[in-house]
Structure 1
Amino acid sequence: MIKDNQKVFNRLHLVVDAIVVLISYLLAWYIKFATGFADTEPGAGALSKETYFRFLYFLVPGYIAIYYYFNMYKPKRVTRRKVELINIISANTAGLVFFIVVLYVIKQPHFSRIMMFLFYGINIILTTVCRMMIKNLLQLFRRRGYNLKYILLIGYSRAAEEYITRINANPQWGYVVRGILDDRIPSGTMYKGVKVVGRIENIHYILPENKLDEIAITLALKDYDHLEYIVDLCEKSGVHTKFIPDYNSLVPSHPYTEDLMGLPVINIRYVPLTNTLNWVAKRTVDIIGSMLGIIVSSPLMIAAALMIKFSSEGPVIFAQERVGLHNKVFRMYKFRTMEVQKPSTEEKGWTVKDDPRVTKAGKFLRKTSLDELPQLFNILMGEMSLVGPRPERPQFVEKFKEEIPRYMIKHQVRPGLTGWAQINGYRGDTSIRKRIEYDLYYIENWSMGFDFRIMFLTIFKGFINKNAY
């Protein structure tokens, strides 16, 4: 069974890490002392070779303990390489700090600091290379049919379909779904090669065969009244059981929980920008960025204003009502790119390809997104942000909030001049549903680094877009 193999693998992994720590330490010592690297370090030669090597008795088990603390020995079939690298760096940084503290406590000032930092860098590199090689080797074995994990799904639902889809798309994980048990869907029903093999009660006959590594409870939301009974049934079998909820449309990918005196409370959505420090940091960047943007783009804005003035009659600036933070309506500024229209005509719909209302100058301004530059003043006034979901007109907000699930969540943050949806091509006359998916991803995963990434990509993807009419 895979669970027995996992125990052996974890022990081997521990031994490999111990050897890597040992080799990294010896390499650091060799580079520092045997090659004469940085001989001028004060006090570096005060300790004998034997003294340096005695530290290994404490260093190797100490690092293994730190690796355990940083969850580096948990099964990592679906762990991303980026996450594993972050764990390795974090664990080694903690190890370095702990090492320095120990040297201070035992009053050992002569230990080479250069060697210490050499060990830190070498150990990160060797551990990363070693773990990536092991990961690649295991993935190769799984693709060839070895080290597989066999799973039975209890319940046919959207969650079951999504789970099967992801497993089929990632054979390197080594998961194989044996079948689905469900009381509503008839036996023989297939979904992407996985068959409904019987009713839930059949688990009594399947479990004794001992051919499963995991049971995944994927009940449909309407069947949750049976959940407690099924969990009890699965746990009696001794097979590892996990629960995949069928409310993915309600709960985001990163929900957070609170402990209310022993009662777990799941918060439906975590919005990082509700944190005061995050809000202040983002607003500071908006103020500085909009002021710099106004100064740098002023020649472009003057040129755009002259183009509009001499190409068609009407005002240079077009102000339009949009819905922003906390559903408040504000007036968003743009350079006018259309012929002057009656308000009733303008409200009928948004611009489509080859729209006759767009002026010749307007086509260029829209294509290059120069018509959006006056929104820098909206940002400076606090009505918008440099990055965020694009604001929509009130009449469309009323329409979309009834048609598109979770549409109104976008109003929990300030609307933006550019956004994650826009640089992925969802602007203009494109899918509103896909646009909202990207907006929600941005809202739930916001960070200052994410904002800077979007602003950087806007230079290459956001200004000129095939969907900007």
Structure 2
Amino acid sequence: MFRLFKHYVPYAVLFLALIDFALLFGAAEAAWVVRARQIGMGVDPIAVRYWPLVNFAVTLQLAMIAVGVYGSDAFHSLRFAAARLVVAICLGVIFLSVVYFALPGYTLWRSNSLYAMFFAFVLLVSVRMVLGRMFGTEAFKRRVLVLGAGQRAARLGRLGAERATSFSVVGHIDMGDCEPVVATAVPRAAIDSLASYAATLGANEVVLALEERRKAMPVADLLHIRTLGMHVNEISTFLERETGRVDLRSINPSWLIFSDGFSSGRRLSSLAKRLFDIVVAALLLTLTLPFVLFAAVLVKLESKGPAFYRQTRAGLYGAPFDILKLRSMRQDAEAGGKAVWAEKDDPRITRVGRFIRKVRIDELPQVWTVLKGEMSFVGPRPERPEFVAELGKKIPFYAERHVVKPGITGWAQINYPYGASLDDARHKLEYDLYYAKNYTPFLDVVIILQTIRVVLFPDGAR
């Protein structure tokens, strides 16, 4: 994987994105030339229209990221990819059409855009027909040798066998640290040189997945492997990179203490984040107020009770604050004031409430909380203090998610939509810890773009 601003991007995604950008630029240029010749206009040098072409390519590529064109499903299904490409191209061109009125010299003509849409779709689908199978093959996967034969090592074997992963396990070595559960593991005593064995298998990386490291740490082997230029990682760091989450089953306090992340030197990034929150919150409050008021009227008409409700949540460093939301449940949803987990197909949700949850309109009043500075647009989902106290006792490192401001959307929300049980809370915490540990403005941009996918294709919003 390629590390970009502390966030890992699979090589296959990076390679395809670069090809797509070139194709989008070419589609815009072809559209310009075709349309110019149709109306009898001379074709000037490409430098004259450089910015319209770049804007077309950049905008459509951002739209492609937003709707999930570079997700694992799109890599393995041409039909899925083609459907998402249609949505992305339409969204991008609609946005450019709006921009045209403000900056006409920096976008394609509307007649150009129609041709560019067609050329872009044909080119993007064609490259996926030709190269689509290759992106999921071993050519773009890291070959990993696992040191260990216990449960941790077995987990890596199962993960590497999944279709969407960017690595494959080429072998396991039984280091004698536990009773082996991987039947194909080769005993360390049967190998003369571990470094030579790894090279024979064509391994790019060695991952330490021992159950007990105190007596079985192969320091000499690892040193030899590393000095030969092969990457060496332990399982927690490896899983963080490959899954985009901090694996709670493999980490310990020392890993969190000594690993890269949780940087205090991001004052400039925090300032930029706050400025972004203020500007966008003010703009959103202005633009979405009619929709919020209309939804509030529908809520009032369907069920008794106030259209809006306040609820106490745990914020930065666990400090309590109140959020404002449109009411999507019956007024008596929590009889006696006792906090209750939301469920899938929760019977307490009203018909209007189900709709406004699907399209996330119920979240819009929280923009006021963002403007006040108690929340951000991006961050871990704020939980009820009652749930925080309960989960903090049952899930290790739960308090560490509060080292960043809570957000309306977040890394957990776009990667793991459900959160209605203890197991769900544990999974979402793994994503929240990844965000808190690796936060950069770049990751915020990725999350905001991917939130569009969640809104357009809601999978079980609650």
What's the TM-score bracket when you normalise by the shorter of the two chains? 0.5 to 0.7
Please point out which of 294, 298, 301 is paired with 2:292: 301
Q: Which residue of 1 aligns with 2:14?
A: 82
Q: TM-score, normalised by structure 2?
A: 0.56
Letter matched to residue 190 of structure 1: V
1:280 aligns with 2:271: yes
CA-CA distance at 1:299 after TM superposition:
0.9
Partner amino acid, structure 2, of 1:218 = L
Q: How does 1:180-199 map to 2 (within 5 A)?
A: 180-185=173-178, 190=182, 195-198=184-187
Displacement of 1:412 in angstroms is: 1.6
Q: Which residue in 2 is equivalent to 1:244?
A: 233
CA distance in 2, matches of 1:329, 1:454: 25
Report the Cα distance in structure 2 between the residues aligned to 1:236 and 1:340, rounded to whole angstroms.
Answer: 63
Find the residue that maps to 1:373 and give its secondary structure.
helix
Alignment size in residue pairs = 326
Query: 1:407 is aligned with what amino acid?
Result: Y
Q: Do structure 1's residue 220 and structure 2's residue 220 form an aligned pair?
A: no
Residues 143 and 168 in structure 2, CA contact (< 8 A), matched pair in contact too: yes
| Higher mean C-alpha deviation, range 171-180 or range 341-350 | 171-180
User: Residues 192-244 of structure 1, C-alpha deviation per residue, up to 9 Å, x if partnerless?
Assistant: xxx2333x444458889996777947352523344266548x74999777643
Contact 1:150 1:211 in 2 (8 A): no
Paired with 2:179 and 2:17, the residues of 1 have a C-alpha distance of: 45
The residue number in structure 1 matching 2:68 is none
Shift of 1:332: 1.0
> What does residue 366 of structure 2 align with?
375
Aligned residues of 2:177 and 2:213 also touching (Cα < 8 A): no
Q: How does 1:163-182 map to 2 (within 5 A)?
A: 163-165=156-158, 177=170, 179-182=172-175
**1:101-112, aligned counterparts within 5 Å?**
none
Structure 2 residues not aligned, in runs of 5+: 1-9, 19-46, 48-130, 246-255
Residues 252, 269 of structure 1: 8 Å contact kept: no
Q: CA shift at 1:324, angstroms?
A: 1.2
- Give runs of aligned pairs for residues 306-325 of structure 1, distance below 5 A: 306-325=297-316
Change (3 A) 1:424 1:231: closer
Q: Given that residues 213 and 240 in structure 1 are in contact (C-alpha distance below 8 angstroms), is that contact kept between their aligned partners in structure 2?
A: no
CA 1:315/1:326 → structure 2, altered by over 3 Å: closer, same or farther? same
Q: Which amino acid aligns with 2:404?
A: V
Aligned to 2:262: 271
Name the structure, 1 or 2, with higher relative contact order (CA <8 Å, separation 6+). Answer: 2
CA deviation map 1:278-301 (0-9, x unaligned):
000000010111111111111112
Give the corresponding residue for 1:454. 447
- Tell me, what secondary structure is at the counterpart of 1:386? strand
Q: Partners in 1 of 2:13 and 2:453 — Cα distance?
A: 27
Q: How does 1:145-156 map to 2 (within 5 A)?
A: 154-156=147-149
Task: Report 1:269-418 matches (<5 A).
Answer: 270-271=261-262, 275-341=266-332, 345-418=336-409
Native 8 Å contact 1:366 1:468 kept in 2 = yes
Aligned twin of 1:442: 435
Give the Cα separation in 2 of the matches to 1:174 and 1:363. Answer: 39
CA distance in 2, matches of 1:171, 1:367: 27
Larger of the two Rg values belongs to structure: 1
CA distance in 2: counterparts of 1:183 and 1:419, whole angstroms:
41
Asked if the contact 2:419–2:425 (Cα under 8 Å) also holds between the matched residues in 1, the reply is no
Superposed displacement of residue 380, structure 1: 0.7
- For the 8 Å contact 2:146–2:169, the answer to whether it is kept is no
Percent of aligned positions that are identical: 28
Aligned 8 A contact 1:159 1:248 in 2 = no
| 1:396 CA displacement | 1.3
Distance 1:206 1:379, change over 3 A: closer
Q: Which amino acid aligns with 1:220?
A: L
Deviation at 1:427, TM superposition (A): 4.1
User: 1:325 deviation in Å?
Assistant: 1.1
- Residue 14 of structure 2 aligns to which amino acid in structure 1? K
Using the alignment, how far apart are the partners of 2:352 and 2:142 within structure 1?
Answer: 61
TM superposition shift of 1:180: 1.7
Whether contact under 8 Å (1:384, 1:415) holds in the other structure is yes
Distance 2:356 2:165 in 1: 47
How far off is 1:450 after superposition?
Answer: 3.4
CA distance in 1 between partners of 2:261 and 2:226 (Å):
36
CA contact (8 A) 1:423 1:461 kept: yes
TM-score w.r.t. the length of structure 1 is: 0.55
Residue 162 of structure 1 deviates from its aligned partner by 5.1
SS of the equivalent of 1:468 reads: coil
Q: Return structure 1 stretches of 4+ with deviation > 6 angstroms.
A: 83-86, 148-152, 170-176, 205-210, 212-215, 236-241, 249-255
Q: CA deviation at 1:454?
A: 3.0
